[in-house]
Structure 1
């Protein structure tokens, strides 16, 4: 392979082939990576979207559980504990838990009525030592017995919340059913005496959602599956549903355990399906509230079909392009390069023989073309002619050049080349060396001048960088960057100083306002304390008047005959009121049931809207509004029921009093005695009010003291703000003492307050 054209063609072919192979290989890798990354992100988004559906369902179920809790509270109210009386449940002596004087221990009638009305189960806990004990429930075990007579235990996630007087809401699986549970502490005298518990079963809603999810497909064979992270069971899968992790092969066990541990991410793995091993891609995300891992899975090869097609096209296209380029380049090189090179090679051998004094004469290069080879031949002929004349001149110039460069080496840049020669190349070299010396000397002088200005805090002047390269450019740029860096530092200092000055002014104004507000608050609290003192005096006077009323009540007498007539009229009126109240009670029960059913229907509508995705968002809003309307209706029914119960109680009391008045004067005297007892109770309540007013008086006095301390803190803050303002002015003055670009246009930064 002695021919240049063969060498060039061979190496060109080899280079093009390597480049094309590398390009095709790189493109395939890059495209494959991009496709895999895009598929992973798409799968992660799909898993996240499905998780969002579960979150919507979870929030709806929570609201339903809270709603049924409010229904339970309307049935069971005024709960108290009697630690002096005990009742045995499963061998444990439990304190009496009472609601409106009705004992709740082992009393499941109210609970069962609640479950019958709402469909939700409920449990009552009573405080037992340092734990809580189940004393009544409508929850039944799988064998049909009630789940009563057991402790809550400290391992329960609700225990810590309850002991902190907080409500706990969460999901739990009880006896094979899924429930949304709400634990609410019963607080009496700032102490937790028991727990109200409701559990709303959402299996039907979950089954509806699960049936929708089973229909989701990814590509031709992709699907969705769900893993219970607590029990390690596949709760949703087209072929492995209800399978435990331990029942699967070791590779799949490791994969699913990693998903439970990592909670979010993607995995590529091998999966045996219908006796055939396939490559799978899965994206997974955790929904911790339901202890589940949501996984989207599809065949990896199906997702990479586009990449395989692109790889085939790129390989065939690269091969075709390679052969096309090689054929064209071979013809061009042979005609335009190889033949002129042979002529130049032969004539240069003649010229070098002349230079080596092997020949007395030299032949010129015989190429007469208009291309680069023709111009090269002309230049070669001109230089061959000049070479003989310039050899001696060149030697003298080279000698002087060596001498001048020696001086340059020791730092003297004033030396120059003065010899004139006829060789243009050497003359150019001479001029370049002289120009180089001039440029070095001038540029170093420019740097020194600028550095001198910097020493006097003047940063406006810059070192010229036009027609300067490499090290001189780096030197000039470095000096200019030094000036620019100092300028930026000064700009920042002045900007920060102005900003600090403005901020300190605002701080001073705000501190002054704080001082004024603190003083006004202190004055107002003093007036409030005086007013409370006056109220305390009034309450004491009221208590004394009640004592006088007790004495005066002994003189109360009435005519027995007039009392009997009035009692008969009162009895008749009370019976009519009782009849109307019973009718109102029935109407309220109907309204309460309608509100609850409306809430359940709105919950189902919210689930359907959540499964519908984007198309169901508007319907989800309507469902939410219907749920809100149902909640308000239930609340209104509850309030009306309370008013009716109070009216019934008052009517019964009136009827009883009228009946008692009929019995005669003796019974009237007995009622007077009862009235005196009531006045005694009022007197006790008045004393308690007096005690409460005195406690409020103490609190106001403490608040007055705290306000005075706040005023002192505001005063100290005012002093600090003044010092900050002085520091800001010093920073601005220091920056103004320097000379730099943009000094006069600097403004303080805007600070959003």
Structure 2
């Protein structure tokens, strides 16, 4: 900074401020320009996307077999076309795209023979006024190697001598081959003209701000710093001994005013110095007698002053050692008497105060010792209580788990009893059906007995007819022998039928008796099942009551468990607080001990001696 000391303040401050402002404006302009460039680039990309979206939508509408896939952000992702027309007789479709977007658009078609893309329809106009239809993309450009890979090209390109911000979107066949390109472009001149206009606007504004700010800073620097040269001249005059000069700007409240006031003080002191020198010269002309009287008075004053200082120093030394019984009993000279009285009063008040403080500190020490012991006991009891609560909480957790398990088992038993009761009801229905079946069997047996009686009668009549036939055959002689044999067979058959009917009747009779016994047993079984059903229903009710009580116990134990856990947490917190309080009480007891030791170094009236100050300092270091 020594380099600035060679120049005057106002030009230096003005030039420095202008340089700093210029740097700031250049930095801000550069940041704004960079931001604008980014925004313009983003705007160019947005315009490209808009033009491409519009062109793809119109092509999909007007060209048959065209499908456009859209990405999540609404832009074109893929264009699939069955085939690109070999020739567009009407270019109204591409002109519609140009009117909607205000930019250029082109559809290219791939030519396998030339291995290049050719413009089939476009709204780009050649310098001669014709459309640029039938011109090729060109393999040497930056677009060709990108689109032949099936990728989208985005960047700057020069088309017929005009620069554009372009996007080339490949057109694919349904088989996935690249058969063409949909192009959308934004003229670079329009965007660059906007950027240049904004850059010039920023530059002109920054230049105007710099010029205005420089003039304003020059005026402010001159207004603020102009008093400094004037004060410099005043200080130079004062340094040269010219005390007649006036000090300006003393009424200002800033640093310049402070500097002016300091110069005024220096001027006043210089004037006083001149007056003192004049007075000293006048005093030098006094007589030796007056000088001797003054020297004698001064010597007496010095002697009284030395005595006062000596006694006061000795008393202060004792006071520094902690002896508050010291007093200045011998009167001082009139000029120093008030000092002695004030010293005695101060020591008296200090002694009384320290006496009261000593008594209070002793009481405080005793109380803190008792509180330290009490808080230690409370901490131990709280720890025991916390441990007990923790064990209780653990036991309650186990009991709650056991009761909850029992409740689940009771619910399962209730469900099993319900199923048993349902099975019993179903069994009662089965037994009732069995009783009805037995009754029907018994009725059927009675009907069978009747049928057997009829069969028995038929056998008897058949036997009687066979007997009559045998008698008639015997009367017939030889002619009736065959008929007699048949009659004999019929009689034997009738006999066997009668015997079989008797056997069946006996079996039916016996079966009926068994069926009757079965009906009785089934009825007894039904009655037993009825009793079992009633017992199961009663058991089910008792088990439901047990399950309900177990659930209520589980709910109650859960509440108790939560309360005990909360008590455990609170007890743990209380234990932590008690530990903190115990630590505080220990520190308080130590502080009270140190306070008592500090007060004990003073000797006051009515109390015994205390350790000397240096002894107490040694004791403090040891503690």
Normalised-by-shorter TM-score class: 0.3 to 0.5
Query: Whose strand fraction is larger, Structure 1's or Structure 2's?
Result: 1
Structure number with larger C-alpha Rg? 2
Query: Whose helix fraction is larger, Structure 1's or Structure 2's?
Result: 2
TM-score by length of 1: 0.30
